[in-house]
Chains A and B, each alone.
Chain A
């Protein structure tokens, strides 16, 4: 075996190294050092994130007989996820040192790093076996993380619901792959892609539907979204924020690679229309259900469902521009959603209150938290000049690049939904700034790590929108993988 192939996966190896260090620290350090573990893991991950920004020379290419691909696009996607994970870790330092969870705090960081490793495999996999392993590594430990707050019944209920849907979805996904295998005799993305050119069989349609359903569960697209709100509400807030951004971003990228590279030949015949219906349903139903939520975690769950619909607009474009806009959208979405969840986590940790009415008059007592939340809501709703506006703009442009009338209609529906979504995002802002209440949340002295995390998010929300160089850079990066889209037809 040629061991130099491992040079193609510098990010994975670095991450594994971080994981091992955290694991060794957790296992062998004396108990009194345990309270430094969250800081240790976070700093290590932050250093690793900086390291991962510098690609090794000549590290692009295929490894392990074509099972694993490393190219500039996967490199950028992994870096974006790294940044998100560092923010999640920063937000959870204070929480993991709480008395009730501090016994298991090592496991929190280990499982997060391990799931991130699985997501990296998903992003880089060019073979279905590796992809399935990555998918399971990325989704199963999250069930354990959801059950992290042992003293709360809700946490266990969320974990049970998550694990059942995760296994159900992966069974459906694997059934789809088995059909693909039966048709093409291969599990390599590219070989399958070239085998199914011109094939018109019901089996293929079934396979595509099963694959979309399987990954759709992970992305919580409607009609595979029922688990989302329950799991988001029941799981600890740090886990919810991890689940809603990192896991979703990785799944969206991998989804696009599968659809384009494996099923690209039947784009206009088969999956464009499936995705078309799914996008309309996802955006609309996510929005409509978000309106009537009072619990903010549930509210953000439905909002993230509808955001997933917008991310899928980049996938349905099935072009290089679509991919650029999708990566950009995920980047912005990470900052805005983590800001919102960060504020919720701070307030929940200090007071245990999560409903929208609890936020009445928050601006009077906690102006900075209210300000951060407002920016997050503006960005999620897409109000200029914040990053959310530009990400929505680019994703609409990317979808319109296909040039078909049907897609224009789709973009129009998405646009109308954006306006509807402003209503419920502004409800939160209204509660914080305008409405009054007798029992306002008192001033919260947030931990400095949480402040850093929120500051990074706010800077991201403002800077990513203003700095146009980021989109140009992403565009240059995805231009290197344009050959992937030649199959689409």
Chain B
């Protein structure tokens, strides 16, 4: 069976959609982080697949993916540190209870 471009792109977009859905509906901050990771990783898939199928002669997409992975790792580390800080101060990881700042 030959894998076509679409067979990668559709799952990647579904993955992105799952990420957005999870970001909007999840209550637990760790789960929100996981949703964000899904979104970032689906972007990586997009880049690699476009590069592999449409522009096999160059490496731009692959390089972008490498950098995007590094950036995603930095983002996760920072977000986890902040979640831990919030937990230390408030003893909560539920995003719905972070409601002190509102009008």
**Interface residues, chain A, with chain B CB atoms under 8 Å away:** 128-129, 132-133, 136, 140, 143-144, 147, 150, 153-154, 156-161, 163-164, 166-168, 170-172, 174-175, 177-179, 181-182, 185-187, 229-230, 233-234, 289, 292-293, 298
For residue B79, which residues in chain A have a CB less than 8 angstroms away from its CB?
143, 160, 163-164, 167
Which of A129, A182, A298 has the most chain B CB atoms inside 10 A of its CB?
A: A182
Quick check: B78 and A143 within 8 Å, CB to CB? yes
Quick check: B60 and A187 within 8 Å, CB to CB? yes
Q: Given A156-B89, A157-B100, A230-B102: A171 and B36 within 8 A (CB)?
A: yes
For residue B90, which residues in chain A have a CB less than 8 angstroms away from its CB?
153, 156-157
Q: How far is the CA of A19 from the CA of B39 in the complex (A)?
A: 33
Q: How far is the CA of A177 from the CA of B40 in the complex (A)?
A: 12
Total interface residues in chain B, CB < 8 Å: 41
For residue A293, which residues in chain B have a CB less than 8 angstroms away from its CB?
103
Which residue on A lies nearest to B29, using beta carbons?
A160
Among B40, B50, B102, contact of A167 (Cβ-Cβ < 8 Å):
B40
Quick check: B50 and A178 within 8 Å, CB to CB? yes
Which of A129, A136, A174 has the most chain B CB atoms inside 10 A of its CB?
A: A174
Quick check: A181 and B47 within 8 Å, CB to CB? yes
12 A-B contact pairs sorted by A residue (CB < 8 Å): A132-B64, A136-B74, A143-B82, A154-B101, A156-B85, A159-B86, A160-B82, A160-B83, A161-B101, A175-B16, A178-B47, A179-B46
> How many contacts A-B (CB < 8 Å)?
122
Q: How far is the CA of A229 from the CA of B95 in the complex (A)?
A: 17
Among B50-103, those with CB < 8 Å from A are: 50-51, 54-55, 58, 60-61, 63-64, 67-68, 71, 74-75, 78-79, 81-83, 85-86, 89-90, 95, 98, 100-103
Q: Given A167-B36, A187-B64, A298-B103: A182 and B82 within 8 A (CB)?
A: no
Known: A170-B40, A175-B16. 8 other contacts (CB 8 A): A157-B86, A160-B83, A163-B75, A167-B40, A174-B43, A175-B39, A181-B61, A229-B103
Quick check: B101 and A174 within 8 Å, CB to CB? no
In whole Å, how far is A220's beta carbon from the nearest beta carbon of chain B? 15
In whole Å, how far is B87's beta carbon from the nearest beta carbon of chain A? 9
In whole Å, how far is A117's beta carbon from the nearest beta carbon of chain B? 15
Quick check: B67 and A168 within 8 Å, CB to CB? no
Q: How far is the CA of A163 from the CA of B32 in the complex (A)?
A: 11
Among A154, A156, A178, A289, contact of B46 (Cβ-Cβ < 8 Å):
A178
Among A133, A153, A163, A229, contact of B100 (Cβ-Cβ < 8 Å):
A153
For residue A159, which residues in chain B have a CB less than 8 angstroms away from its CB?
82, 85-86
**Interface residues, chain B, with chain A CB atoms under 8 Å away:** 16, 19, 23, 29, 32, 36, 39-40, 42-43, 46-47, 50-51, 54-55, 58, 60-61, 63-64, 67-68, 71, 74-75, 78-79, 81-83, 85-86, 89-90, 95, 98, 100-103
In whole Å, how far is A486's beta carbon from the nearest beta carbon of chain B? 25
Quick check: A163 and B82 within 8 Å, CB to CB? yes
Quick check: B55 and A160 within 8 Å, CB to CB? no
Quick check: B103 and A292 within 8 Å, CB to CB? yes
Q: How far is the CA of A168 from the CA of B13 in the complex (A)?
A: 15
Quick check: B100 and A154 within 8 Å, CB to CB? yes
In whole Å, how far is B26's beta carbon from the nearest beta carbon of chain A? 11
For residue A160, which residues in chain B have a CB less than 8 angstroms away from its CB?
29, 79, 82-83, 86, 95, 98
Quick check: A174 and B89 within 8 Å, CB to CB? no
Quick check: A156 and B74 within 8 Å, CB to CB? no
Quick check: B54 and A136 within 8 Å, CB to CB? no
Q: Given A171-B19, A175-B46: A161 and B98 within 8 A (CB)?
A: yes
Quick check: B82 and A140 within 8 Å, CB to CB? no
Q: How far is the CA of A298 from the CA of B85 in the complex (A)?
A: 23
Quick check: A181 and B100 within 8 Å, CB to CB? no
